[in-house]
Structure 1
Amino acid sequence: MRYPLGEYEKDSIRSKTGKKLSQITLDEIKRGNVTADDIKISKEMLHKQGQVAKEADNPELAGNFERASEMVDIPDEVILDMYNRLRPNRSTKLELVTMAKELIDNYQAVNCAKLVMEAAEIYEKRGILL
């Protein structure tokens, strides 16, 4: 796999809806053949980006891509709520623990839940929970 993927791997790039990168053109957008969902990244592409990061010896970035791949299946409003709750002094520890459980139970987002739990522990130590 060669980076940048858009240049070297463009035949294998597909959007969340399965549309090929080559099908997402300005002409297709003007014709109404490309929707907002057609330009959202797929789990597969995020996994590939994570693999590139791992091969480049960047495990932190690889972890970010793994969490991002989980977020593909999480509704936008849930992601926005998660963002707001993770801001300092916006949640109790119980609220963060509950959110982590919901991420696992509803979306199988284990890595995202782990991040939320780590934040809850750090926030507790720093005194930035409600």
Structure 2
Amino acid sequence: MSSYPLGQSEADTITSRTGKKLSQITLDEVKKGNVTADDIKISAETLKKQGQVAKEADNPTMDANFQRAAELVNVPDDIILDMYNKLRPNRSTKKELILMAQELLQKYNAPHCAKLVLEAAEIYEKRGILR
């Protein structure tokens, strides 16, 4: 069973996207210039651990959110922003959403996110909120 909050219980094992341990990210290290903006970006592994905590707390919805977030760690910010814009009602065609899902799956290995976009395309079609 995971100890929550992870930042306190696992500060020596949780790492950022660059591999820096959470325990190494301190105000003193920032002041010395030893911590960069990339060092404070969360890793997929940490998000998966957070998902595990949610799962153990019987919160499958939160677990699924963390799993999708873990997939998005390696997706460029501009692609994520494009995805969110396309997911707004009346902003995309069904084809555009399907293409976005294919890109998430094939280029970024994000099957849970791709599934979410495909589900949105179906729901938007039923509700008449596609462009």
Task: Compute the TM-score of the two structures, normalised by the length of structure 2.
Answer: 0.97
Within-5 A mapping of 1:1-130: 1-130=2-131
1:49-107 deviations in whole A, cap 9, x for unaligned? 01111111110000000000000010011001101010000000000000000001100
- Report deviation, 1:111: 0.2
Q: 2:26 and 2:34 mapped to 1: Cα distance?
A: 9
Q: Segments of 4+ in structure 1 off by > 2 A? A: none
> Aligned pairs, how many?
130
State the distance in 2 between where 1:122 and 1:31 align. Answer: 51
Percent sequence identity is 72
CA distance, structure 1, for counterparts of residue 32 and residue 63 of structure 2: 37
Coordinate RMSD, CA, aligned: 0.7
The whole-number CA distance in structure 2 between the counterparts of 1:84 and 1:78 is 10
After TM superposition, the score normalised by the length of structure 1 is 0.98
Task: Give deviations 1:9-35, integer Å, cap 9, x for gaps.
Answer: 212111010001111111111221111
Gaps of 5+ in 2: none
